[in-house]
Amino acid sequence: MRTTIANSRPRIRSRALAALLSLFLVYSLPSTAQPLLPPEILATQDVAAEFAFVRLQYDNYYNDGFGFGTWRTDFPSADSNFLRGVSRLSNVRVMKDPIVLRFDDERIFDYPFLYALEMGRSGGPDFSAKERATMREYLLRGGFLLIDDFWGTRQWDNFYRAFTEVFPDREIIELPADHEIFRSYYDIAGPQMIPVIGNPDNYPEQDVDRASNHAILDDAGRVMVLINWNSDMGDGWEHTYDPRYPTRYANLAYQLGINYLIYSLTH
């Protein structure tokens, strides 16, 4: 008889490495990971790195984003640039290239940090029963999911529908500006509205004129799901080198992202 997942898989935890600053708990990557590169390129990677950027692939409620899939927004430039930023701005060693996985792939348990975005468009995500069950187990075992780049009340309603099916027993709360997640590395005055490219004056995209961070917590009060609403860190990462994108917003995008990463690896 096959051993059940709950009995066979250890709780997701980061492992401290003495070579890094005592601030960081970091996570070693398994050799079985499936990156978006062929084996000959993978051979050049830093396989001892502690952090891999894993983007969540999902289906949309309406025809997977009308043939495109909203999960692919800003990919792969945002992911690759963020990895470079983590390497430059911290002592966390990173894998060079991003990874894409779905929640029906059990390799998801090899990674403590996941990134997803645009979960309010095209009707929001359409998770299968297996994806919902695996997501719930992953998060309760210590995993962390960062959700970015969705705007306004209509997109919030689409997102909310999907995630109340994953955690019908847990409230989605708004984090206060003094929550420790905003102080985990950089000292930031709470949520920040990061604009899309082409909006240098940072006008609201939809019917809400401020950014806010919301969360789903575990029984110990740890943030399992961090929801970055009315803000687009991914554009800040993607357009780091584009002269049309204001540097101050790109900098904020990296600072917020690194704060969330350090929180996820130390809680």
Both tokens assigned to 232? 């687009």
What per-residue confidence (pLDDT) applies to 15? 34
Q: 96 falls in which pLDDT band (50, 70, 90)? A: confident
What per-residue confidence (pLDDT) applies to 143? 97
What per-residue confidence (pLDDT) applies to 201? 81
Q: 152 falls in which pLDDT band (50, 70, 90)? A: very high
Both tokens assigned to 128? 């299968």
**Structural domains in the chain, sorted by start:** 13-29+46-266 (3.40.50.12140)
pLDDT tens per residue across span 216-244: 999 999 999 999 999 999 999 999 999 99
What per-residue confidence (pLDDT) applies to 65? 44
Percent of the residues in the chain that have a pLDDT greater than 90, as a whole number: 67
Give the CA radius of gyration of the chain: 18
Q: How many helices and strands, by DSSP H and E, does the chain display? A: 8, 7
Distances (CA, A) of 210 to 89, 147, 213: 27, 17, 10
CB pairs under 8 A, 24+ apart, for 63-71?
A: 63/122, 64/122, 65/121, 65/122, 66/122, 70/117, 70/118, 70/119, 70/121, 70/122, 71/116, 71/117, 71/118
Of 173-187, 189-203, 217-231, minimum mean pLDDT range: 189-203
Query: Average pLDDT in the 143-164 region?
Result: 95
Query: Average pLDDT in the 55-72 region?
Result: 77
Q: Is the pTM of this model over 0.85?
A: no
| Cα separation, 74 vs 197, whole angstroms | 11
Nearest to 92 by CA among 16, 20, 31: 20
Query: Average pLDDT in the 211-219 region?
Result: 97
In this predicted structure, the answer to whether residue 69 has a pLDDT above a threshold of 80 is no
Strand, helix or coil at 174?
strand
| Cα separation, 198 vs 246, whole angstroms | 10
CB atoms within 10 A of CB 5: 13
Both tokens assigned to 194? 């990061």
**Phi first, then psi: what are they for 144, rounded to 5°?**
-135, 130
Nearest to 191 by CA among 266, 259, 246: 259
